[in-house]
């Protein structure tokens, strides 16, 4: 059975995809949407890879990548929040991205100490 974090990351990616579908079709939003979709879906994918890690160092590295991707995701979400009318769904995604960053950061801090 998947752990709670795996489920949250999966749900987060799906919610980002759904919200991106509602963004205006313009050059700037195409760029932001593309970058956001890449980073948001990469977070969960790298965490999934971490679950099959062959060593503690491998696990820690995949979690570090997930954290970096979540930081990038948060950046793109903050841009969207600033450009459009502070849509509550985007604000909720921004809040969730911050919480997930804290969780991934804590996991990385614990697992990278042995490096």
List pLDDT tens digits, range 70-95.
999 999 999 999 998 777 899 999 99
Domain chopping of the chain, boundaries:
4-19+29-112
% of the chain at pLDDT higher than 90: 89
Check whether 34 has a pLDDT greater than 90: yes
Q: What percent of the chain has pLDDT over 70?
A: 96
Report the mean per-residue pLDDT for the chain.
93
Q: Is residue 1's pLDDT more than 70? A: no
Q: Which two tokens stand for residue 100?
A: 């997930």
CA nearest 100: which of 77, 55, 67, 78? 67
What's the CATH number of domain 4-19+29-112, 1.10.275.10, 3.40.50.620, 1.20.1440.60, 1.20.120.1200? 1.20.1440.60
More confident residue, 86 or 60: 60
* pTM (2 d.p.): 0.91
């Amino acid at each position: 059975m998947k752990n709670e974090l795996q489920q949250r990351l999966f749900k987060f990616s799906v919610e980002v995809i759904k919200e991106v579908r509602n963004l205006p079709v313009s050059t700037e939003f195409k760029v932001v949407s593309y970058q956001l979709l890449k980073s948001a879906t990469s977070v969960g994918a790298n965490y999934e890879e971490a679950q099959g890690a062959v060593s503690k160092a491998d696990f820690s590295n995949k979690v570090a990548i997930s954290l970096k991707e979540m930081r990038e995701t948060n950046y793109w979400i903050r841009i969207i929040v600033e450009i459009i009318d502070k849509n509550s769904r985007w604000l909720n995604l921004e809040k969730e991205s911050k919480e997930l960053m804290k969780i991934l950061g804590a996991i990385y801090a614990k697992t990278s100490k042995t490096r």
